[in-house]
Amino acid sequence: MHKLDTTSGHLPYYKQIKEFYKKDIQDGVLAVGDRVDSEMEIQEMYDVSRITARQAILELEQEGMVKRGRGKGTFVTYR
């Protein structure tokens, strides 16, 4: 698991989390079709609010890295 930068002037947590997942997808740690952690799992892993977790996933979706399915989960779509 990656560690959030909490030093002064750090990137917002949702951007850091988004970058963690983006790097894992680009490096092949997460492949097309793999399930991405849920908002609740991200919230617990990084000790952040649900809104922070949701924003990170939303930005990944907007960048075409993942696809969210209501009630199904979030899955990697980027090759």
Q: What is the pLDDT along the chain (79 residues), one digit of tens a residue?
A: 899 999 999 999 999 999 999 999 999 999 999 999 999 999 999 999 999 999 999 999 999 999 999 889 999 999 8
**Residue 72 within a domain:** yes
Residue 49, pLDDT score: 98
Residue 43 lies inside a defined structural domain of this protein: yes
Give CA angle at 11 (6, 12), nearest 5°: 85
Sorted by sequence, the CB contacts under 8 Å of residue 29 that are 6+ apart come out as: 23
pLDDT value of position 1: 82
CATH at residue 40: 1.10.10.10
- Residue 12, helix vs strand vs coil: coil
- Domain annotation covers residue 67: yes
The CA distance from 77 to 61, in Å, is 9
Inside any domain, residue 54:
yes
Residue range(s) defining the domain that contains residue 72: 13-76
Residue 59 lies in a domain: yes
> Is residue 44, in this structure, part of any structural domain at all?
yes
* Segment (H or E) for 68: strand 66-69
The count of domains in the chain is: 1
